[in-house]
Structure 1
């Protein structure tokens, strides 16, 4: 089964490179978004299996978006060190965190499997 993903990041360059990387690794990127409004619309329309959300969305906060996504698991991403985000990640409804440099189809699949096993 192919995992369907929405990528949310304010960097057009990151969205494009992440789309290429994940598509090459068998993840179907069904939409990308640059801000909360676009992201909520994409998630509603596409009903993805997972949503990758950047911690910082320009003037907006990715954790605010994660709290508003109800029916798709969220994985937070950032170029910031995970230890700088520990408290926010623990309070977040996200199923996990992936540093941007560690983004891969296998990492996403692993987090989704871990979530399924925890249920």
Structure 2
């Protein structure tokens, strides 16, 4: 069964590239959004296995969106993966407080990396370790 992914990013170029990459690797991209409100609105119908959320959504924050997912019980934090072009070290403090399964640099985005995070087999320090 294909992994059902939802992607939240304010870059149309990245959304297209990520969707193409993940679908080529056997994932089903069941939705995309570029803003917090759009993501919340589309999430109910999409029923994804995982939500990839860019930490920087233009004038909005992906960290805030992850917190809203948790508060509003829209998505369990074990299914949220924060993504960004920023180095993980630059985001330690924010990642440590984020209700998310992990952080994945955009340059390492792949179906295998997502599955490893969801399965708990990715060898990484994760967002909760300083």
| TM-score normalised by structure 1 residue count | 0.93
**Within the alignment, does 1:107 sit opposite 2:113 as a pair?**
yes
Q: State how 1:1-119 maps to structure 2 within 5 Å.
A: 1-69=1-69, 70=73, 71-72=75-76, 73-114=79-120
The answer as to whether partners of 1:6 and 1:42 remain within 8 angstroms in 2 is no
The answer as to whether partners of 1:2 and 1:28 remain within 8 angstroms in 2 is yes
Q: Which runs of 5+ in 2 are unaligned?
A: 122-130
3-state secondary structure, aligned to 1:80: coil
Q: Which runs of 5+ in 1 are unaligned?
A: none
Aligned-partner Cα distance in 1 for 2:43–2:89:
28
TM-superposition CA deviations, 1:21-64 (whole Å, max 9, x none): 00000111001000001111121221211000000000000000
Aligned length: 115
The answer as to whether partners of 1:3 and 1:27 remain within 8 angstroms in 2 is yes
| TM-score normalised by structure 2 residue count | 0.85
